[in-house]
């Protein structure tokens, strides 16, 4: 169980070995939360715009493509209830990851990690939602159960000008029946849970080249859940297999892009923390250093550092003297 110390360290605030860290507890929601939120105010505004855009896309009627009698064989699957209801998707794809972020924050007390985790997650699901719904509206592909949405009594009517289908079912059911490609359940699931998988893989250093399969299993759990949701969409006859495949690709790609906006790649040495944390650490290092002249050399001392063995020391950085300083020293000797 050699991987347990690293696994425990991501809850207790441990980072990369040998690297000096700022006090994580000094950057909390109370002390720096408003400052971080103001810095990303425009990002939150764009997030609201994305949410409104997604709502508008759901109100637009999709493209009603031609459906002839010989095509209806692929759309005669029975009408079934959703195994995973629509209201459950935001719970496991958004609220559950945020709950995990909050648990980690309660241990590490890093407002940068919490804020960027939530912001990146929301961007992942909303951008995915806009892309998915835009394609749904433009494509208008019928669902596998379209026949029973169009003809709930089973009486066919293909009296259109070119032999097109003339539906007499409920308007809302017919509208929803033209939104098969791509799968929204699947894209949202892979966006939210894919982001969570990347987040966890960075925190526990799943790709530290030590070969601990237990870490990999933990990272793959969210993706397994997303895959099961995708399978349910096909078995419920709400989507064709191409719909869920495309939805999964969209969700994973967007989740990866949004994650890398705020965090280093999970396989990176600093993949356990957000970029903002390391910028704050560099600022703390520069603000906390002093310069002491010793025999014409600039000795820069920093705050005390604790190495991996628990021994504390004060690193010194020797700066090379300028040419004018050397000339003055040589003149004094003469």
| CB 104, CB 97: distance < 8 Å | no
Q: Is residue 90 part of a domain?
A: yes
Q: Is residue 177 part of a domain?
A: yes
Q: Is 149 in the same domain as 220? A: yes
pLDDT for res 310: 47
pLDDT for res 1: 53
Q: Is residue 284 part of a domain?
A: no
Q: Is 324 in the same domain as 249? A: no
Q: Is 45 in the same domain as 154? A: yes
Q: Is 238 in the same domain as 308? A: no
Domain range for residue 329? 289-333
Quick one: pLDDT band at residue 125, thresholds 50, 70, 90? very high
Residue range 160-191, pLDDT digits in tens? 777 788 888 899 999 999 999 999 999 999 99
Q: Is 157 in the same domain as 185? A: yes
Q: Is 203 in the same domain as 329? A: no
User: How many domains does the chain divide into?
Assistant: 2
Q: Is residue 283 part of a domain?
A: no
pLDDT, averaged across the chain: 80
Q: Is 71 in the same domain as 91? A: yes
pTM: 0.77
Q: Is 108 in the same domain as 257? A: yes
Residue range 11-53, pLDDT digits in tens? 444 444 433 444 554 566 665 656 777 777 899 999 999 999 9
Q: Is 79 in the same domain as 115? A: yes
Residue positions annotated with a catalytic role: 185, 239
244 phi-psi bin (left φ>0, alpha ψ -120 to 50, beta other): alpha
Q: Is 249 in the same domain as 303? A: no
Q: Is 249 in the same domain as 307? A: no
Cβ count within 10 A of residue 75: 22
Q: Measured between alpha carbons, how far is 252 from 217 in angstroms, rounded to an integer?
A: 18
Q: Is 323 in the same domain as 206? A: no
């Amino acid at each position: 169980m050699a991987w347990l110390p690293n696994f425990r360290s991501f809850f207790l605030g441990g980072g990369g070995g040998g690297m000096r860290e700022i006090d994580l507890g000094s950057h909390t929601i109370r002390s720096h939360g408003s400052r971080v939120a103001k810095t990303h105010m425009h990002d939150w505004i764009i997030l609201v715009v994305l949410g409104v855009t997604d709502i508008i896309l759901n109100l637009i009627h999709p493209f009603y493509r031609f459906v002839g009698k010989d095509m209806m064989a692929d759309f005669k699957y029975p009408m079934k209830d959703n195994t995973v209801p629509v209201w459950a998707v935001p719970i496991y794809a958004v609220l559950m990851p945020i709950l995990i972020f909050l648990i980690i924050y309660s241990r590490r007390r890093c407002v940068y990690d919490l804020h960027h985790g939530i912001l990146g997650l929301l961007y992942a699901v909303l951008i995915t939602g806009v892309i998915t719904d835009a394609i749904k509206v433009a494509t208008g592909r019928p669902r596998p159960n379209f026949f029973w949405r169009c003809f709930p009594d089973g009486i066919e009517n293909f009296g259109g000008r070119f032999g097109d289908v003339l539906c007499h079912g409920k308007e809302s059911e017919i509208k929803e029946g033209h939104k098969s490609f791509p799968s929204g359940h699947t894209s949202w699931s892979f966006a939210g849970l894919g982001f969570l998988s990347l987040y966890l893989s960075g925190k526990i250093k799943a790709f530290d080249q030590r070969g601990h399969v237990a870490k990999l299993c933990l990272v793959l759990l969210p993706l397994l859940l997303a895959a099961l949701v995708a399978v349910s969409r096909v078995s419920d006859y709400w989507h064709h297999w191409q719909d869920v495949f495309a939805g999964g690709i969209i969700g994973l790609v967007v989740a990866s892009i949004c994650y890398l906006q705020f965090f280093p790649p999970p396989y990176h040495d600093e993949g356990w923390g957000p970029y903002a944390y390391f910028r704050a650490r560099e600022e703390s290092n520069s603000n906390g250093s002093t310069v002491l002249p010793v025999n014409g050399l600039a000795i820069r001392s920093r705050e005390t550092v604790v190495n991996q063995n628990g021994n504390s020391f004060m690193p010194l950085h020797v700066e090379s003297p300028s040419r004018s300083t050397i000339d003055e020293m040589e003149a004094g000797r003469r």
